[in-house]
Structure 1
Amino acid sequence: MTLVFSFLFVSTFLFSQNERLIIGRTTGKLSIEKKAPIRTFGFTNSLSGQVTLPGSEIDMKVGDSINIDFWNISQGNPVSLYCRDIEFVQRTAENEVMTKKEPVHHMEHGFYSFVAQKAGTYLYYSPENYPFNLQAGMFGVIIIRSKETDVLPAKVLAEVLWCSTEIDPIWHTDAIMGTAYDTSNKPVVLPDFKPQYFLINGQIATKNKGLQVLANKKEAVLLRLVNAGLYGNEIQFPPQAKVRLISGNEKNLTTFSGACKVQLPPGECMELEVFLENVSDQEKIGYHFTDPVSKKISYNAGIPVFY
């Protein structure tokens, strides 16, 4: 009876366009290569929705406000929503602002809101038991678009999101991910993080099909980069590519031997306008995952520019 009532409640809550339902769950599965699926956590928009990495995307314009009903149906510890660069306001079911933010317990709802103030791409995630929930898959992307129509000087046909993360299969075993519910939110005990899989949009990075359709190489691409992992990302473009920063830390974009290079630390995001007209058809983009301790490259993917 409680489940039916909650479902009817959130269905009503979603009637307005500026209201969103996000469901936190611990029953996701990710197929990597041809091996057995790896268990993941994640955010979805419906009870039947499949967990993806990244999870539920929020797309809005500057000046818009949004109300989020976060329904925690996960079996583990309480969770919540957080974004480093956006202040989430948490409210009670009676719409009263909570002076102290609280995690959301199993089968309960948390109510969040914010106003889109600055255009850009942002990472949001569950900060509880950091970095476990984040690495388990409880993260998503917020896209805030500018109201102006002339932000990009060139015509952009394609928008591409590359959201990176890593997976250590030991962290994804039932013994760890099946931690029993604990009202005290006791941290999950974890072994050292030793990732074996390096992903972009939930797939092995080397399986990325490319940045732009070859037939449209004269058209600019808006590339959104999100580092949802614990390793640093280094993205190196071919020398013939022209790259312009739209949003993000300008210090992360440098020129090296005539080529543009991005250094994207964990948790950071960037938006780039990329011009590929003068790039040869067979060129690749170097996408490196760097160990945060040794500072050495742990994984290197060559992603085709065109497909």
Structure 2
Amino acid sequence: MHIKNKILLIIIFLFVAISLSAQNEKLIIGRTSGKLIVKKNKELRVFGFSNSLSGQVTLPGSLIEVKQGDSVHIDFWNISQGNPVSLYSKGIDFELQNEAHQSIKEKQPIDHMEHGFYTFSTKNRGTYLYYSPENYPFNLQAGMFGVVIIRSKKTDSSSVTKNNELLWCSYEIDTNWHTDAIMDLEHDDINKPIELPDYEPKHFLINGVATKKTRGLQTYVDRSEKIVLRIVNAGLYRNEILFPLETEVGLVFGKTNAIVATSKNKKVLLEAGDCIELSISLAEVNKKDTIIYQYIESKTNQMKHKAKISVFN
């Protein structure tokens, strides 16, 4: 009987340990004060999400990384001086809760200095864009966006390790949307729409760096190893990414029609807000080949920006 009790205690301990390991408590802080260096000696004011009071705003903001089956609880603290904000994603249902983790039927944005508590299902693996939907697309373009990665319970691929993963989050910035006159609007409980000038972005970025300065996918020496590339289009333009023809590009997550093979290249198409995960092999790619990253205005189908990125570091 004594041995049975010991075994029972061990089982209970393991169960509790496993349960706690699957719990994910995330703190996300909404800010209306941040700075981004868009080029040498050029600093721009941005909004954003951080995970601590002392944390600097980065674009994209706080990364939410979990595994399928995890229980995720987000404490969203809005310390911005602006209008109420909330969390939203096209592919994830953020469920608003109270402090006791009980569902609140009526979704509502979180006011200044208030906390909002969210949870979401981790059943479906993939990569997702999340952002503040209030005054869309202003809050998104101002910088209030981030990425959610829900990993498979198993390794994504037997030949891919976490060291062989990359995230490219692309977006554009119109400096006329980032003036103090627009970003310092007085607090408004009803989120009255903000009047904005026509969207004419001057800066085109990936992970906060000019697209043309983005590093390659991997070293030439490691070209035989497969990589996973996650691409998130957080901007308002369509992205068209042209990989060298010899690139092996497989779809891990995303729209099945997003990859188009032509006689000249492998093309990946992402509309605004789209996300994709690609399994890529560069084994047959030339050392000096480049990736062409294009930003296209969807309404007119006009290319607004084009940058070359070296395939290899």
TM-score by length of 2: 0.91
- What CA deviation, in whole Å up to 9, does each residue of 1:214-268 have, x standing for no partner? 2211111100000000000000100111001000001111101152110100001
* Alignment match, 1:43: 49
Out of 87, 94, 113, the position equivalent to 2:119 is 113
Matches within 5 A, 1:7-156: 17-149=23-155, 151-156=156-161
| Residue identity opposite 1:228 in structure 2 | A
- What CA deviation, in whole Å up to 9, does each residue of 1:250-306 have, x standing for no partner? 111110115211010000100001100111111100100001221111100100000
Q: Distance in 1 between matches of 2:185 and 2:56?
A: 21
User: Which has the larger Rg?
Assistant: 2
Give the 3-state SS of the residue equivalent to 1:37 in structure 2. strand
Matches within 5 A, 1:225-236: 225-236=231-242
- What CA deviation, in whole Å up to 9, does each residue of 1:27-76 have, x standing for no partner? 11000111331000000000010101100001111111200000000011
* Alignment match, 2:6: none
Instruction: Compare 208-217 and 166-175 and name the one that shifted more.
Output: 208-217
Q: Distance in 2 between matches of 1:228 and 1:196?
A: 16
Q: Distance in 2 between matches of 1:265 and 1:65?
A: 30
Quote the RMSD (CA, aligned, Å): 1.4
Q: Distance in 1 between matches of 2:290 and 2:23?
A: 40
State the identity as a percent.
Answer: 53
Aligned-residue offset at 1:79: 0.3
- What CA deviation, in whole Å up to 9, does each residue of 1:155-200 have, x standing for no partner? 3441110000000000000000111111121111111111001111
Instruction: Compare 218-227 and 180-189 and name the one that shifted more.
Output: 180-189
Q: Distance in 2 between matches of 1:301 and 1:153?
A: 33
- What CA deviation, in whole Å up to 9, does each residue of 1:91-128 have, x standing for no partner? 12343311110000000000000120111100000000
Matches within 5 A, 1:158-177: 158-177=164-183
Give the 3-state SS of the residue equivalent to 1:31 in structure 2. strand
How many residues of Structure 1 are paired with residues of Structure 2 in the alignment? 292
| Residue identity opposite 1:122 in structure 2 | Y
Out of 287, 294, 304, the position equivalent to 1:298 is 304
Give the 3-state SS of the residue equivalent to 2:153 in structure 1. coil
State yes or no: 1:182 paired with 2:188: yes
Contact 2:47 2:143 in 1 (8 A): yes
Kindly report structure 1 stretches of 4+ aligned residues shifted beyond 6 Å. Answer: none
Give the 3-state SS of the residue equivalent to 1:215 in structure 2. helix
Task: Give ranges in structure 1 of 5+ residues lacking alignment.
Answer: 1-14
Give the 3-state SS of the residue equivalent to 2:104 in structure 1. coil
* Alignment match, 1:216: 222
